[in-house]
Amino acid sequence: MRTQLTLAAAMLALSPALAYASPPQQSSTRATVTVQNDQKDSVTVYAQRGEEDIRLGQVPALGIATFTVPDWLSLDRDEVQFFVHPKDGFDLGSGTVDLSPGEHLGLLVRGR
């Protein structure tokens, strides 16, 4: 079961529990996601489109990491979900996002 993950997109508020993550400094046409992990354990970050899960990488405990989203996930302006898998506990999901090339998303994984 996936629980709601905090998600912020450029000038787009999806829920009252949103948080902000700074976009990367380089300019790019590729979509990126920055994940701030406020938990005491590392988390693994995934993008999901349809039934397909794509592992983006891992964020250390109390750390921040930025991942480049594969082009094929954003070029079609398709609906994508992001979720994290903590070491212990349930997966946390972002809900559906329309992802476009060059867009930057911020995810906050709140501490337990």
pTM for the complete prediction?
Answer: 0.73
User: Is the Cβ–Cβ distance between 23 and 32 less than 8 Å?
Assistant: yes
Phi and psi at 31, nearest 5°, equal: -70, 145
Contacts of 104 (CB under 8 A, 6+ apart): 9, 10, 23, 24, 31, 32, 33, 34
Percent of the chain with pLDDT over 70: 71
- Answer with the residue of higher pLDDT: 46 or 73: 46
Identity of the highest mean pLDDT range in 26-30, 75-79, 94-98 = 94-98
Q: Which fold has domain 2-16+30-109?
A: Immunoglobulin-like (2.60.40)
pLDDT, tens digit, 9 for 90 and up, residues 44-53: 999 998 888 9
Q: In the chain, what are the domain boundaries?
A: 2-16+30-109
Phi and psi at 72, nearest 5°, equal: -65, -15
